[in-house]
Amino acid sequence: MTETVLVVGGGIAGMCAGMALARRGFPVTILERDSPPPEGDADKAFFEWSRRGASQFRHPHAFLGLMCNLLEENYPDLLEAFYAAGARRMGFQEMLSPELMSKYQAQPGDEKLWVLMSRRSTIETVLRRYVAAFPGISILNGISIDGLITEQVDGRTVARGVRVRRDCVQRFGTEIRADVIVDACGRTTRFPFWLAEAGVTVPDELHDAEIVYYTRHYRLKPGVSEPPRTGKDRSAGDLGYIKFGVFPADNGHFALIVCVHNDETELRAAIKDGPTFDAICRSIPGLLPWIAEDKAVATTHPFGIGGICAQWRHYVVEGTPLVHNFFAIGDAAIRTNPLYGRGCSIGILHAHMLADVLAGNADAHSRAIVFDRRTEDELRPIYQASLSEDRNGIRRAIASRQGLVVEANKGGLKKWLGLAFGDAIAAAARYNLHVMRGMMRTVNLLEKPGAFLRDRRTQGIICLYMLRGRARNAVARIARGPTRTETLALIAAGQAHRNVDAA
């Protein structure tokens, strides 16, 4: 390949795009506005690396089976470098409930059901150093751009390069040109605005998840082991007014997340306070084993991220590419709620899809059409599943504020059957290995969402569970925790206690 490729954005999607393209013979230049990771270990990267270009950099991430298997198949030495830095592999057997652990017998395909547990800073540090030594790739750090260079060819808009921001001109020149431009800038990408300046409007689908996402990081105290993640009380769940979860990471670190609806102003204000964040989390039985005072110490204050949306940008409209030689991947093209942990897997899959399309198609028009079609076929089901989960979460949050229960037996037979079916799936996945395997294939994006439900054996098992009744099945779904009223009372009591101490 003699075509040059310019990848703008040096996050996970951008670096993976660089590797996938370079392996197919394309000379690749990656532009990254932030500095490279500091010298030193994983903790130094987490606490000292400034990543202004990735707003979610210090929020926890789930590295699902889709991403992990792509790495294992294509870059096994990179995976070993992740392990050396402290990242951990968690296999299917370790994910099983106590009820299923004693019944487990390995089956073909189980080896694909695994996740990588690590802080994103650790993954990015190792990845950046690995890609810096990758043949055919050049990384330019500390470079900011402020425009896309386009020209009109036979009535078509064609991308030719990028304009360099004034304060970077002395080092990099006024512009950088390439045959193909790849937008890997993530959720804050400016390329749609630059295209608009060139007369190209990029339509999109945009759906607000209506939540704010708060994180606090911790480190286990010396001699303390992680509590089991398969106990009676779940370490992730939805209480309606709050969603919560534990993200185990590397080198004894882990993070807790708490998500609340935008309109929960009192909760949002309170949860920014460290002691209040801990008090709320300790009131949830599934989280208490992680952050009891004798178990762990906080390493950050709580911090949040808003503007959480599902977004799909369209670069092909009614069969016509809006721009040639330009492609957007990962969050720059398709965003899902980070609560579900699908972003990194979507990004690396999208990067490899692009490399396949560019290597297999020489014509710019054909490339745009084929990439758009593959994106729709492979990523649209994941996007739609995430959007559906967002809408369900919004309904639960609104109902919780109104003192209602979404799962109440109201709304007619159709709603009742839907709720009963959902409870039966949850119970079957907890107590039946066949259903659990299918669900974990969906969770890890190894098949299209819900595909396991088309299996006749799975359907039969779920029908049998429906006969047990909703009350019995719901135990597998419901996460124990305080009511909204109880949490607000806890917050008020804590504030009153601090006021007395201050006086």
pLDDT digits (tens, 9 = 90+) for 29-80: 999 999 999 998 999 999 999 888 788 899 999 899 999 999 999 999 999 9
Structure confidence at residue 29 (pLDDT): 97
Residue 408 binned pLDDT confidence (cut-offs 50, 70, 90): low
Residue 138 vs residue 399, higher pLDDT: 138
* CA 439/CA 452 separation, integer angstroms: 7
The mean per-residue pLDDT over the stretch 183-204 comes to 96
129 and 18 both lie in a single domain: yes
Residues 215, 362, single domain; the answer is no
Q: Please indicate, yes or no, whether residues 136 and 185 belong to a single structural domain of this protein.
A: yes
| Prediction pTM value | 0.94
Residue 455 is predicted with a pLDDT of 94
User: Two tokens at 373?
Assistant: 């079609």
In this prediction, residue 410 carries a pLDDT of 59
Pair (297, 215) in one structural domain: yes
Same domain, 288 and 300: yes
Q: Given 305, 326, 357, which residue is the final one in a domain?
A: 305
Tens of pLDDT, residues 103-136: 899 999 999 999 999 999 999 999 999 999 999 9
Same domain, 266 and 368: no
Q: Mean pLDDT, to the nearest integer, of 271-290?
A: 95
Dihedral, 470, 475, 479, 480 alpha carbons, nearest 10: 120
The whole-number pLDDT of residue 409 equals 54
pLDDT-wise least confident of 31-40, 350-359, 397-406: 397-406
Using DSSP, state whether 385 is helix, strand or coil: helix
The pLDDT of 328-356, averaged and rounded, is 96
| 262 part of a folded domain | yes
For residue 411, being part of any structural domain is answered with no
- pLDDT for position 375: 98
- b/e sequence 121-153, b meaning 16+ C-beta within 10 Å: bbbbbbbbebbbebebbebbeebebebbbbeee
pLDDT of 502 strictly over 70? no
Single residue among 280, 305, 330 that ends a domain in this structure: 305
In a domain, 413, yes or no: no
Q: Domain count of the chain?
A: 2
Answer yes or no: do 54 and 142 share one domain: yes
Q: Rounded distance, CA 330 to CA 351, Å?
A: 8
The whole-number average pLDDT for the span 329-339 is 96
Rounded average pLDDT over 382-410: 84
Q: What is the CATH classification number for the domain harbouring 192?
A: 3.50.50.60
The verdict on 314 and 381 lying in the same domain is yes
* pLDDT for 217: 98
Structural domain contains residue 443: no
**Based on the domain organization, do 44 and 145 belong to the same domain?**
yes
Half-sphere exposure of 256 (CA within 13 A, CB side): 33
Range of the domain at 177: 5-63+118-205+308-385
279 in Cβ contact with 494 (< 8 Å)? yes
In this structure, the answer to whether residues 300 and 337 fall within a common structural domain is no
Exposed/middle/buried for residue 330 (C-beta within 10 Å: 0-12, 13-18, 19+): buried
d(CA 68, CA 336): 19
Q: What is the pLDDT of residue 282?
A: 96
In a domain, 409, yes or no: no
302 or 170: which leads in pLDDT:
302
Amino acid at 488: L
The domain that holds 287 is classified in CATH as 3.30.70
In this predicted structure, the answer to whether residue 405 has a pLDDT above a threshold of 80 is no
Q: Is residue 272 part of a domain?
A: yes
Residues 288 and 161 in one domain: no
What is the rounded average pLDDT for all residues in the chain? 92
Q: Are strands 88-91 and 114-117 parallel, antiparallel or unpaired?
A: antiparallel
User: Does residue 431 form part of some domain?
Assistant: no
How far apart (Å, rounded) are the C-alpha atoms in residues 64 and 163? Answer: 36
On whether both 25 and 164 belong to a single domain, the answer is yes
Q: What is the pLDDT of residue 503?
A: 56
pLDDT of the residue at 495: 82
pLDDT band at 318; cut points 50, 70, 90 = very high
Q: Is 90 exposed, middle or buried (0-12, 13-18, 19+ CB in 10 A)?
A: middle
Give the residue from 275, 305, 335 where a domain finishes: 305
Question: In the prediction, which pLDDT does 406 show?
Answer: 61
Confidence (pLDDT) at 56 = 86
Residue range 202-228: mean pLDDT, rounded: 95
Has residue 153 been placed in a domain? yes
